[in-house]
Amino acid sequence: MDRLARETSGEDGPWVHLQMRMAFLRGDVATLRSLSDALISRQRKANKMEDVAEALAYHADEEAYLGNYHLARKLCAQADEAGNHSASGLFHCSHALGQAADTSAAEALAAKLNELFPENTFEQKVLRPVTHSVIQRTRGNPRAAVDLLAPVTPGYNVVVFYTRARAYMAAGDQAKSIADFQTVIDNPGWPDWEPFKPLSQLGLAQAYAMEGDREKSRKAYDNFFVTWKDADPDIPILIAAKAEYAKLQ
């Protein structure tokens, strides 16, 4: 990582996104935001507005996972102003807004994604079902959230396993939820894995608690807290996790 940092341009979007994912893995939200802001500033100066919109959408999705829903909505609004027309940008904002319970706006962006990229297999067969699953879960329809992902082949896609695990947990099927969270945790070589390790450790702890296995739940929480031992203390999902953990004692 140090060698790559010396040799790779700070304007390289995928490289910056990797660093952002590594910051998420540590719970270092300040660094995540700093990296995003610097990338977007460089892209604006170069008048690369589509790249600006995509970077804002990517950041919005990360904030939504952390529970920073107000900021996620704000970033998606900025992405829309910049011209959010890429497949990646539309997915990330529709997904972020779905998590943030802004489901009507999420559906509108998913519809736009469908209209602009009708033949993009990955977007159509994987990412759109993921977004609609999140929307249904947010609306209190967990069984529909599960069913939407039934035809999706997960492959090595962590967002599918993680989203399905959350859907199973909401539907009361804790055994399947636990299996999917554990699959994510056990495969650190999968693309875009870094943010989903702490998220899945937390999900595993919550699923065990719902199943009534307090010992395994406490252990999973402990693992999550070790991963985020240096995390920023004001992360909403971390604050909630500490309150949940206290109830297990």
Nearest 10 degrees: Cα torsion 168, 173, 179, 184 = 20
Mean pLDDT of 202-206: 98
Task: Tell me the angle at which helices 214-227 and 236-248 cross, rounded to the nearest 10 degrees.
Answer: 150
Name the nearest CA neighbour of 158 among 147, 169, 166: 166
Contact present, 85 and 116 (Cβ < 8 Å) = yes
Q: Is 102 helix (H, G, I), strand (E, B) or coil?
A: coil
Q: Is 8 helix (H, G, I), strand (E, B) or coil?
A: coil
Q: pLDDT at position 2, please?
A: 83
Could you count the other beta carbons within 10 Å of the beta carbon of residue 179? Answer: 16
Q: pLDDT at position 151, please?
A: 85
Q: Which domains does the chain have, with CATH numbers?
A: 10-240 (1.25.40.10)
The answer on pLDDT for 11 being more than 80 is: no
- Mean pLDDT across the chain, nearest whole number? 95
The rounded distance, in Å, linking the Cα atoms of 79 and 4 is: 28
The answer on pLDDT for 154 being more than 90 is: no
Ramachandran angles phi, psi of 9, nearest 5°: -65, 140
pLDDT digit string, tens, across residues 82-136: 999 999 999 999 999 999 999 999 999 999 999 999 998 888 999 999 999 999 9
Q: pLDDT at position 201, please?
A: 98
Tell me the pTM: 0.94
Q: pLDDT at position 14, please?
A: 84
Contact present, 236 and 67 (Cβ < 8 Å) = yes
The answer on pLDDT for 167 being more than 90 is: yes
